[in-house]
Homo-oligomer: A and B are copies of this chain.
C-alpha cells in the first residue's frame, strides 16, 4: 500500500482528529475533530505535514503518489458538496490554508475562493443569483492569489480598489455594486500584467500553485526567524499541512457574516462569551478593521437562532477540549459553519482564573490546572505593568536586558545620593548609571527603577534590583552616559537630569516620558488557590534570598519556607556601619581590626535578630562575608578624602590600602572563605552575632534555625578551618546561655573545585548550597560583569542556545552540580542541598534542581510564587 498523504474531511466524518496535530497540523486536526463530534464544518481535505517534509527531503519535489491522492480527495469533495471545481454551472470553490503542529505566524496564511475565473464567476453569480457576491469573491481571490502566491505587492491591489471607491464616491467595500466590482476585477488583471505575472484561469493550476506556495512558505525567512526566536528546534516539526476546504460565504449579503470569538474572556478570564462579527464579510475582514465589527452580544438580538447555535457550539467545544477556545465561524444565509477552533491565547490573569474556575466547574483536575499556567505568567501578575495604550504612544529609546521585571516611571538622576535626596522630597526617580556598585544601594532602594549602560543579567544592578523587587533594565550599551553633564545620549536623543523616563523591566524597553503604571493584584483569589495546589504537588522546598527583615516578610507572605541566602555584607554598607567596616579594613594589626569588629558585633546581632524574628520557625541560611574588602572602600579621590578624615588617617595611607587591595580579577581574588582564612576574627564576630541573636530569641520563646554558610569553598581544608572556628564559638555561647539551639554549618558550592571534591568537603558540611552565578562564571570562564558584550554575539550566532547566567547550563555547569550532589551524599546521605544563585528562580533551572534531587531552591522574594509553580511543573513533568 502506498503512503497516505491526504486526509479527508467529510461532512459528518473525518479522517484523523485532535490527536494527530503532528501530521495534520493544528488547524487540520481540529477541523477533523470538530467534524467527528458533530459540529458543522465545511468539508475538505488536509495534505499532511509529511508532504512538506518529503518535499524538502527530495530537493523540492512532491512525493509521487500525491497528485493521485489529491485528485481522489477532490473527487470525494465534489461528491460531498455536489459541486465541481471549474464547473460552469455549480462551481466548487475552496480555501487553501497552511497549518503546522504549532501555531506559527510568518507562513503563508490563507487563500479564499479558489476556483473562480472569468467563467466560473458568472456561474456563481447565476447559481446564487448574487452577482455582487460573485464578483466580490472573485476580486478577493485575485487579490489574495496575486499577493500570496505571485508576490505582487499588496498595495498595488489596494490602490485600484481605493481608486474605484473614490470614483464611485463610497467609503465601504460593501457599498460597491456588482459592476463596480467587475471594474475592480478588470483593474486587478492590469495589476497582474504590470507586474509581469499572469492570473491562471485554470482552477487546477490555481490549486497546485497555492499548495506550492503554502509548502514553500515553511522555509521563508519570516517563518525560519520565528522558529529561531521561539526556540523551535529545527527538525522538531515535520512541516506545514495544507488545508483545502470548500468555501462557505459570509459575504452573501446581510443575512451572512463572519466572526471570531472566545468561549470566555481571554483578557480577565471571566466566564462570558466574547467575540466580534461582521455582516456580509469574508475572511480577514473582521480583524483587518475595514469596518467596525459588531459585538457578539448583539447577535443574540439580531440573529437569536444562529446565536443560540453558536453558543451551544462554544459549550460543546469547551467541554470537549477542556479549555477556553478561540474560534472562527462563518454564517452563510443564517447557516452556521465553524472554520477553526484552537485553545485560546490569554493574559496571565485570565490563565489563572480560567484554570481555577475550570477545576471548580469540574472540567479539569488540579494538575491540569497547574499545567495551564506558566511560571512567567505568575511573574507578570506580581509586578506593576504599564498602561498599554499609553505605552504604545511613548517613544522607545532603546531595548536592553530585562534584568528585573515590572514597570517603573520616574525622573532621571545620575547619582545614588541624588536619588536619595530627590526621593526624600517625594520625587519619583529612575537611577541611571554606567554600572552600579555596592555604595549605590541607598540610591537604588530610593529609586523607582534602575537603568545601567553596562552589565549582564547577573550584574550588581540586576541582582540587587531583583532582590528589591524593583524594575531594572541593564546593559543598555547604546546609552552614552555623561556624569559631568548629568545626562545621557541614546541614538541621538539627549535625556537630562529631571527628564521623565519609563522602564519596562519585563521587556527591557526604555521609554521616554511618563507612562502610567498599573498596580499588580498580588497574591490573592485564584492565584493563591492555584499556588496552594502547586505546594501540594511540588517536591522542592522554596526559600528566598533576603538580607533584611522587610524582604524576609515579603517573601514569607509569598510562601517562602525559609531563607536560603542572607548576604551579611549588604548590612555592612548601611551608613551607620560603613565607617566601622572601613576602620576594620585599614586596621594594620589584629588589635585594630578587633576593635572595629567589637563595635560591629552588636549591630550585626541586631540585623540577625530581625531576620530570625521575621522568619521564626523557618530555617535561615546566613552567609559569612563574601566580597573582596576593596568593595567597602571609596574609589574616587573626593570620597577618599572624606573617608580618610573620618578614619583619622592620612589620604596617602588610605590610598595605599586601596592600592594594596586592588585586584586584577576581583572575581577570582581575595574574597569568600579566603577572607576569613586570612582574617578568622571576622568569622568569629559573625558567628557570635548570629548565635547570640538566636539565643536571645530562644529566650523569648521564638524558634530559630540558623544555618551558617561559608562561601567560595574549593578545598576541604578551608571548610575545616572555618567549621572548627564556627563550632567553637557557637558551642561556647550556647553552653554559656544554657539553651538548646540546633544550628547547621554548611558551604556554598560555587567554585568548580568545590564540586569536584564535594565528597571531601561534605565531611565538614551539613548542607550544600549551589552558588550557580559564580559556578557558571568559573565553569565557562565568563565574567558576569564583562560577558554581556560577547554573550550577545554568541546568542546571535547560535553558539549559545541560551544565556547560561539566566538558565542553568545542564551539560557543563549541571554536570558539576550532579557530581557534587552525588559525591556529597555518598559521604553524608542526609546532606541538605539547595541552590541560591539567580537560577533558583528560573523555571527551567528549577526543573533541573528537581531532577538532580535538591531539597530546595532559593530565589529573590518576588520570584517565590514563580518558583512554587515551576517546582510543581517540575514534579508533574518528572514524576
Q: Using a CB–CB distance below 8 Å, which chain A residues touch chain B?
A: 663-670, 674, 677-678, 712, 714-715, 717-718, 721, 750-753, 756-757, 760, 774, 777-783, 785-787, 789-790, 793-794, 797-800, 809, 811-813, 815-816
Query: Chain B's nearest CB lies how many Å from the CB of A435?
Result: 9
In the bound assembly, the distance between CA atoms of A812 and B754 in angstroms comes to 8
Can you list 5 A-B pairs with a CB-CB distance of less than 8 A?
A: A665-B786, A667-B783, A668-B786, A670-B786, A670-B790
A714 / chain B contacts, CB cutoff of 8 Å: 779-781, 812
Sample of 14 more A-B contacts, CB < 8 Å, known A717-B800, A751-B781, A752-B780: A665-B665, A665-B783, A665-B785, A668-B668, A668-B777, A668-B778, A668-B781, A677-B790, A712-B781, A718-B799, A751-B780, A752-B779, A756-B815, A778-B779
Contact A753 B813 (CB under 8 A): yes
- CB distance B667 to A721 under 8 Å? no
Q: Which residues of B contact A815 (CB under 8 A)?
A: 756-757
From known contacts A667-B668, A783-B669, infer whether A678 and B813 are also in contact, taking CB-CB under 8 Å.
no
Among A756, A782, A793, the one with the most B-chain Cβ atoms within 10 Å of its Cβ is: A756
A664 to B750, CA, bound (A): 19
Do residues A786 and B753 form an inter-chain contact, with CB atoms below 8 A?
Answer: no
Question: Which residues from chain B contact A752 at a C-beta distance below 8 Å?
Answer: 752, 778-781, 812, 816
Q: How far is the CA of A779 from the CA of B678 in the complex (A)?
A: 21
Closest to A753 in B: B812
List the B side residues contacting A812 at CB < 8 Å.
714-715, 752-753, 756-757
> Are B757 and A797 closer than 8 Å at their CB atoms?
no
**Known A-B contacts A714-B781, A790-B674; A797 and B721 likewise in contact (beta carbons under 8 Å):** yes
Given A677-B790, A780-B714, A812-B714, do A664 and B785 touch, yes or no (CB 8 Å)?
A: yes
Shortest Cβ distance from A631 into chain B, in angstroms? 12
Give Cα A721–Cα B790 distance, bound, in whole angstroms.
Answer: 15
| A144 CB → nearest B CB, Å | 42
Copies of this protein in the assembly total: 2
User: Which residue of B677, B753, B790 is within 8 Å of A797 (Cβ)?
Assistant: B677
**CB nearest to A678 among chain B residues:** B793
Nearest residue (CB) in B for A674 is: B790
Partner of A783, one of B664, B712, B721, B756: B664
Q: Which residues of B contact A793 (CB under 8 A)?
A: 677-678
| CB contact between A667 and one of B664, B712, B813 (< 8 Å): that residue | B664
Report yes or no: A669 in contact with B787, Cβ–Cβ below 8 A.
yes
Q: Which residue of B lies closest to A665 (CB)?
A: B783
Q: Are B794 and A677 in contact (CB under 8 A)?
A: yes
User: Closest 5 CB pairs between A and B?
Assistant: A668-B783, A665-B783, A753-B812, A664-B785, A751-B781
Contact of A780 among B677, B753, B779, B811 (CB under 8 A): B753
Q: How far is the CB of A458 from chain B (nearest CB, A)?
A: 12
CB-CB < 8 A to A678: which residues of B? 790, 793
Chain B residue nearest to A799 (CB atoms) is B717
- Which of B664, B669, B760, B778 lies in contact with A666, CB distance below 8 A? B664
Chain B residues near A669 (CB-CB < 8 A):
783, 786-787
- With the chains together, A811 CA to B753 CA distance in Å? 9
Closest to A671 in B: B781
Q: Judging by beta carbons under 8 Å apart, are A774 and B781 in contact?
A: yes
Instruction: Find out whether the CB atom of B786 lies under 8 angstroms from the CB atom of A663.
Output: yes
Separation of A398 and B461 alpha carbons in the complex (Å): 44
Contact B779 A756 (CB under 8 A): yes
**Chain B residue at smallest Cβ distance from A719:** B799
B798 touches A756 (CB 8 A): no
A461 to chain B, nearest CB (A): 13
A665 interface neighbour in B666, B750, B790, B816, Cβ under 8 Å: B666
Kindly list chain B residues whose C-beta atoms are within 8 Å of the C-beta of A777.
Answer: 668
Among A663, A721, A780, A786, the most chain B Cβ lie within 10 Å of the Cβ of A786
> What are the residues of chain B within 8 A of A670 when measuring CB–CB?
786-787, 789-790
Q: Which of B721, B786, B789 contacts A799 (CB 8 A)?
A: B721
Q: Are A783 and B663 in contact (CB under 8 A)?
A: yes
A778 proximity list for chain B (CB < 8 A): 668, 752, 778-779, 781
Of all chain B residues, which has the CB nearest A628? B786
Contact between A798 and B717, CB atoms less than 8 A apart: yes
Assembly CA distance A715 to B786 (angstroms)? 18
Q: Give the complex CA separation of A443 and B666 in angstroms.
A: 28
Which residues on B sit within 8 Å (CB–CB) of A756? 779, 811-812, 815-816
Q: How far is the CA of A815 from the CA of B757 in the complex (A)?
A: 9
A787 to B665, CA, bound (A): 10
How far, in Å, is A662 (CB) from chain B's closest CB?
9
Chain B residues with CB under 8 Å of A785's CB are 663-665
- The CA of A790 and the CA of B668, in the complex, are separated in Å by 12
| Shortest Cβ distance from residue A762 to the other chain B in the assembled complex, whole angstroms | 14
Neighbouring B residues of A750 by C-beta, 8 Å: 781
User: In the assembled complex, how far is the CB of residue A616 from the closest CB belonging to chain B, in whole angstroms?
Assistant: 35
How near does chain B come to A398, taking the closest CB pair, in angstroms? 17
Residues of chain B with a CB closer than 8 A to A667's CB: 664-665, 668, 781, 783
Interface centre among A666, A669, A717, A809 (most CB of B within 10 A): A669
The residue in chain B whose Cβ has the minimal distance to the Cβ of A664 is B785
Minimum CB–CB distance from A453 to chain B (whole Å) comes to 11
Of A666, A752, A782, A811, most buried by chain B (CB within 10 Å of CB) is A752
Q: Are B668 and A782 in contact (CB-based, < 8 A)?
A: yes
User: How close is A856's CB to chain B, nearest CB, in angstroms?
Assistant: 24
Question: Are B668 and A799 in contact (CB-based, < 8 A)?
Answer: no
Q: How far is the CA of A718 from the CA of B794 in the complex (A)?
A: 9
Residue numbers in B under 8 Å from A797 (CB-CB): 677, 721
Chain B residues with CB below 8 A from A757, complex form = 811-812, 815
Of listed A664, A666, A787, A790, residue having the most chain B CB within 10 A: A664
Inter-chain contacts of A663 with B (CB < 8 A): 783, 785-786
Cβ-defined contact, B753 with A779, below 8 A: yes
| A647 to B668 alpha-carbon distance, docked (Å) | 35
Q: Residues of B contacting A789 with CB < 8 Å?
A: 670
Closest chain B residue, CB of each to CB of A809: B753
Question: CB-nearest residue of chain B relative to A774?
Answer: B781
Q: Of residues A721, A756, A781, which shows the largest number of chain B Cβ atoms within 10 Å of its Cβ?
A: A781
Residues of B within 8 A of A751 (CB): 779-781
Give the chain B neighbours of A677 by CB distance below 8 A: 790, 793-794, 797, 799
When distances are taken between beta carbons in the complex, the residues of chain B under 8 Å from A783 are 663-669
Smallest CB–CB gap between A787 and chain B, Å? 7
Q: Which residues of B contact A760 (CB under 8 A)?
A: 811
> CA–CA, A556 to B44, complex, Å?
80
Nearest residue in B to A789 (C-beta to C-beta)? B670
Cβ of A648 to closest chain B Cβ, rounded Å: 23
For A659, the closest partner residue in chain B by CB is: B434
Q: Which residues of B contact A782 (CB under 8 A)?
A: 668
In the complex where A752-B778, A756-B816, A779-B753 touch, is A787 in contact with B668 (Cβ < 8 A)? yes
In the docked arrangement, what's the CA distance between A51 and B237, Å? 80
In the complex, what residue of chain B is closest to A661 when comparing beta carbons? B789
**Complex: how many Å from CA A670 to CA B791?**
10
Q: Which residues of B contact A779 (CB under 8 A)?
A: 714, 751-753, 756, 778
Chain B residues with Cβ below 8 Å from A811 are: 756-757, 760
Cα A739 to Cα B381 in complex, Å, equals 67
A774 to B779, CA, bound (A): 11
Once bound together, how far apart are the Cα atoms of A125 and B754, in whole Å?
Answer: 71
> How far, in angstroms, from A757 to B804 measured CA to CA in the complex?
15
**CB closest chain-B residue, reference A667:** B665
A715 and chain B: residue at smallest CB distance: B799
Q: Which residues of B contact A717 (CB under 8 A)?
A: 798-800
Contacts of A787 in B (CB 8 A): 668-670
CB contacts (< 8 Å) of A712 on chain B: these are 781
A563 to B64, CA, bound (A): 59
How far is A674 from B783 in the complex, measured between Cα atoms in Å? 12
